Structure 1
Amino acid sequence: MNHIALVMPDLETGGAERVMLLLARGFAERGHRVDLVVGNAEGPLHDTVPASVRLIDLGVRTKPGGAAAFAARFVGRLAGYLRRERPDAVLSTVQGANFAAVMARALSGVHPRLVLREAASPAATTSPFRRSLRRLLYPRADALVALTAPMREQLIALGVVPVDGTVVIHNPVDVAGIRAAASAPCPHPWFTDSSGPVLVSVGRLTREKDYPTLLRALARLRETIPARLLIVGEGAERAALEALIGYLGLSAAADLVGFDRNPWRWLARGDVFVLSSTSEGYPNVLREARALAVPVVATEYDASARDLVPDAAAVVRCGDTLALAAALAARLRGGRPKGSVPRPQEDPDALLFRPVDAYLAVLIDGEAVTSRQWSTAEL
Structure 2
Amino acid sequence: MSLRKEKLTFVLKSLNYGGIERLAFNLLNFIAQRQDLSIDLVVGWGKGVYEQEIPDNVRTIDLKIHLENRIKSYISLTDKLTKYFAAENPNYIFSYLPIANICSAIAWSLHHQSSKLILIEQTLLFNDLVKLQGYRHSVKSHLKDNTKNSLFSITLPLAMKLWYPQVTAVVSDSLGLARGIEKGLNLKPGLIKTIYNPVIDKKVPIALEDSIAHPWLTSPQAPVFISVGRFAPQKDHFTLIQAFFLLRKKRPAKLIILGDGELRKQIENLVDELNIRSDVDLPGFVKNPYPYLKQANTFVLSSLWEGLPTVLIEALASGCQVVSTNCQYGPDEILENGKYGWLVPITDTSALSKAMEHSLESPIDRTLLKQRANYFTVKRAANEYLQLVGLSTE
TM-score range, shorter chain: 0.7 to 0.9
Q: Select 1:226's aligned residue among 252, 258, 272.
A: 252
- The yes-or-no answer on 1:336 pairing with 2:336 is no
**Is the 1:233–1:260 Cα contact (8 Å) retained in structure 2?**
yes
- Pairwise mapping of residues 238-317 of structure 1 onto structure 2 (< 5 A)? 238-302=264-328, 304-310=330-336, 311=338, 314-317=342-345
TM-score, normalising length: structure 2: 0.83
- 1:172–1:351 CA contact under 8 A, matched in 2: yes
Paired residues of 1:7 and 1:97 also in contact (CA < 8 A): no
For residues 208 and 344 of structure 1, the distance between their equivalents in structure 2, rounded to whole angstroms, comes to 27
**Cα drift, residue 217 of structure 1:** 0.7
Q: 10, 23, 26: which one pairs with 2:30?
A: 26
Q: 1:288-347: per-residue Cα shift (whole Å, max 9, x none)?
A: 21112111111101364223124357111111000000100111223136xx32468659
Go from structure 1 to structure 2 and tell me whether the alpha carbon gap of 1:33 and 1:265 turns closer, same or farther (over 3 Å shift).
farther
In structure 1, C-alpha distance between the alignment counterparts of 2:100 and 2:66, rounded to whole Å: 15
d(CA) in 2 for partners of 1:274, 1:252: 19
The structure-2 alpha-carbon separation of the partners of 1:90 and 1:333, relative to structure 1 and needing over 3 Å to count, comes to same
1:101 to 100, 104, 119: 104
Report the residue type matching 2:343 in the other structure: V
- Paired position in structure 1 for 2:59: 54
Q: C-alpha distance in 1, partners of 2:294/2:276?
A: 23
Matched to 2:85, the amino acid is: L
2:44 counterpart residue number: 39
Distance in 1 (CA, whole Å) between partners of 2:385 and 2:357 is: 40
Q: Is the 8 A contact 2:319 2:370 kept in 1?
A: no
Residue identity matched to 1:308: I
Corresponding residue for residue 376 of structure 1: none
1:130 corresponds to which letter in structure 2? L
Report the TM-score when normalising by structure 1. Answer: 0.86
Higher alpha-carbon deviation: 158-167 or 325-334: 158-167
CA contact (8 A) 1:118 1:145 kept: yes
- C-alpha distance in 2, partners of 1:94/1:203? 21
The alpha-carbon deviation at position 116 of structure 1 amounts to 0.7
Question: Please, which runs of 5 or more residues in structure 2 have no aligned partner?
Answer: 131-152
For residues 100 and 303 of structure 1, the distance between their equivalents in structure 2, rounded to whole angstroms, comes to: 25
The aligned residue for residue 76 of structure 2 is: 73
Distance in 2 between residues matched to 1:48 and 1:248, nearest whole Å: 42
Partner of residue 377, structure 1: none
Say which SS state the counterpart of residue 138 (structure 1) adopts. helix
Shift of 1:107: 3.8
Of the three residues 3, 28, 50, the one matched with 2:7 is: 3
3-state SS of paired residue (2:32):
helix
Q: Secondary structure at the match of 1:359?
A: helix
- Please state whether the residue corresponding to 1:116 is helix, strand or coil: strand
> How much has 1:130 moved relative to structure 2?
3.0
Distance 1:227 1:209 in 2: 21
Deviation of 1:92 (Å): 1.1
Moved more, 77-86 or 159-168: 159-168
Q: Which runs of 5+ in 1 are unaligned?
A: 369-379
**Larger relative contact order (CA 8 Å, sep ≥ 6):** 1
Q: Is the 8 A contact 1:292 1:342 kept in 2?
A: no
Distance 1:207 1:350, change over 3 A: closer
Mapped partners of 1:52, 1:200: distance in 2: 38
1:14 correspondence with 2:12: no
Post-superposition CA distance 1:148-202 (Å, at most 9, x none): 2222222222235433532111112224312211211222232223332221111
Q: Work out the number of aligned pairs and report it.
A: 362
1:133 aligns with 2:164: no
Contact kept? 1:213, 1:320, Cα under 8 Å? yes
Q: What SS does the corresponding residue of 2:250 show, helix, strand or coil?
A: coil
Q: What is aligned with 1:373?
A: none
Confirm or deny: 8 A CA contact 2:320 2:369 kept in the other structure: no
Assess, with a 3 A threshold, how the Cα gap between structure 1 residues 93 and 160 changes in structure 2: closer, same or farther: farther
Displacement of 1:95 after TM fit? 2.1
Instruction: Give the distance between the partners of 2:238 and 2:373, measured in 1 at CA.
Output: 36
Write the deviation string for residues 132-154 of structure 1: whole angstroms up to 9, x where unpaired.
Answer: 33323323322111222222222
AA partner of residue 15 (structure 1): G
Structure 1 vs Structure 2 CA RMSD: 2.6
